[in-house]
């Protein structure tokens, strides 16, 4: 849910209230900027003045938001935040000799967010550490994919909305292994668990 990530990234621009999804982030990762807030690492990778706050983004979509699509999206908009397809943490960990295939992208795609999927804290930590060398502007944890392969057999994606304590631990593990903002993609509910209070419990 982009609004959750947006609230996490723009605490000084958006009001905090009991109903706001403010997800875990590391303090000090933001630099003041003419257009709003700029992730710390991005300041060294692009000229000043290139980023707007992440109010508009191209969402992560399997089999769609690959390198080619993102290049096209960047030609359409200089300021949209682009998301990768979900990359499973185990894929990154076990393919570390061929990481460019899964993580490399042209510099012109900044600002860009890597979306990671998984339910193993060790692998999420290792995957984030390996991905840190690619200078993504944000790391996003997938807690929204409803497919049977992911949420069913894989036990992650939307399935993680049943376990907000684990999501908190996962976000801490991800944040501890990168120096950029972290966020969560989720849904407003899962199965019959779609009340305001259940959504609020994710915070």
Strand bridging mode 57-58 / 112-117 = unpaired
Neighbours of 54 (CB within 10 A): 24
CA distances from 41 to 45, 177, 178, 179, 202 (A): 7, 14, 10, 7, 28
| 143 catalytic per annotation | no
| Contact status, residue 189 vs residue 164, Cβ threshold 8 Å | no
HSE value, Cβ hemisphere, 13 Å, CA-based, for 99: 17
Q: Which of 145, 155, 178, 186 is catalytic?
A: 145
Question: Token digits for 80?
Answer: 């949209």
- Which parts of 68-200 are beta strand (E)? 81-88, 112-117, 138-143, 182-186
Instruction: Give catalytic residues, as residue numbers.
Output: 145
């Amino acid at each position: 849910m982009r609004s959750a990530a947006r609230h996490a990234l723009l605490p000084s621009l958006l009001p905090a209230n009991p109903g706001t999804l403010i997800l875990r982030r590391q303090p000090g990762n933001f630099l003041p900027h003419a257009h709003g807030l700029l992730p710390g690492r991005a300041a060294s990778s692009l000229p000043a003045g290139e980023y707007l706050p992440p109010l508009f983004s191209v969402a992560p979509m399997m089999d769609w938001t690959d390198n080619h699509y993102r290049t096209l999206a960047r030609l359409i908009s200089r300021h949209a935040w682009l998301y990768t397809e979900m990359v499973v943490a185990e894929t990154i960990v076990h393919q570390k000799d061929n990481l460019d295939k899964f993580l490399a992208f042209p510099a012109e795609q900044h600002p860009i967010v890597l979306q990671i999927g998984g339910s193993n804290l060790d692998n999420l930590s290792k995957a984030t550490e390996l991905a840190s060398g690619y200078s993504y502007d944000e790391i996003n944890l997938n807690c929204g994919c409803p497919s049977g392969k992911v949420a069913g057999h894989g036990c992650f994606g939307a399935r993680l909305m049943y376990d907000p304590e684990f999501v908190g631990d996962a976000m801490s593990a991800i944040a501890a292994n990168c120096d950029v903002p972290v966020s969560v993609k989720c849904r407003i509910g899962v199965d019959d668990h779609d009340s305001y209070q259940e959504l609020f419990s994710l915070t």
